[in-house]
Amino acid sequence: MHALSNSLSFDHPTEVNVWLRQLATTAVSAVHPDTLLSAGQLPPRPSGRTVVIGAGKAAAAMAAAFERTWADAYDDADLSGLVVTRYGHGAECRHIEVLEASHPMPDELGEKAAQRMLDSVAGLTGNDLVVALISGGGSALMTLPAPGLTLQQKQAINKTLLRCGAPIREINTVRRHLSRVKGGRLAVAAHPARVITYLISDVPGDDPALIASGPTIPDATTPMDALEILERYSIDIPEAVRRHLLSDDTAPKPHSPEFGLDRTIIQARVRIPDQGCH
């Protein structure tokens, strides 16, 4: 940072403010979906349906950009789907429905959105294509508790994990194993349709399984990993949650055949420099 400060010279505080605004605008533009998605990144048009699903703070902007790019490349008559984003972050789309829900604490609208996404991919065939648009914040925005669990239980556990300062890797491990859609379960529900996932990363290391808890990405962790995290932070574990984690064996495995034709594209990454500023 010392070298950077020596290379910049400002005569007035207003110049600093202008420079900072320009810097922020440039950074945001570089990772905006309109900039990231090109026709060359589109999958071939399927002979069947194309269903778009998605979740995250950038999901609506991603949906609008995808819809425009798809329409330029193909006839968009067979395009449908829905995405969920944070309140106040919607965007206008022609064929993709945009829903809004709460972040960072999940709410009932996020639960309904996740259920509708699960319903939208049911009954697809090998001729169909599912496009998943996933960005940071999607884990809270797409909350569908595992069978036997309630939204209130997930809300309480999520709130406690956030309060105690657990890292996002641990928080999302717990979220995946208490969910009906995370940890690759949404992709399994769409099988045998092919799933193409576009990601905007907000996590160090850019692990696809961590971004929005990986609804279309297989999970290498186990329910016992989630239970160990809850116990290590001395979090009150409802009996139904404990029973679920001790008995659940439904998590898709990384090499499950359901993921054989799927593809993941990280459109924007969190860059971790090799060396600090000097």
Q: What angle do helix axes 239-247 and 151-163 make, rounded to 10 degrees?
A: 90
Domain ranges of the chain: 38-268
CB neighbours (10 Å) of residue 151?
Answer: 15
CB neighbours (10 Å) of residue 189?
Answer: 23
Buried b (16+ CB within 10 A) or exposed e, 96-117: bebbbbbbeebbebbbebbebb
Q: What is the DSSP secondary structure assignment for residue 177, as one 8-state letter?
A: H
d(CA 103, CA 80): 25
Q: Which of 242, 39, 151, 34 is nearest to 159 (CA)?
A: 151
Grouped pLDDT means (10 residues each) for the chain, 278 residues? 48 63 49 63 92 97 94 85 96 95 94 97 97 96 96 95 92 95 96 96 88 94 96 96 90 87 88 44
What is the CATH code of the structural domain delimited by 38-268?
Answer: 3.40.50.10180
State residue 30's pLDDT score. 46
Question: Peptide bond before 238: cis, by omega within 30 degrees of 0?
Answer: no
- Provide the token pair at 38: 């090109």
- With contact defined as beta carbons under 8 Å apart, do 129 and 193 qualify? yes
Q: What is the DSSP string of 86-112?
A: ETT-----SSEEEEEE-SSS--HHHHH
pTM of the model: 0.84
Q: What is the DSSP secondary structure assignment for residue 273, as one 8-state letter?
A: -
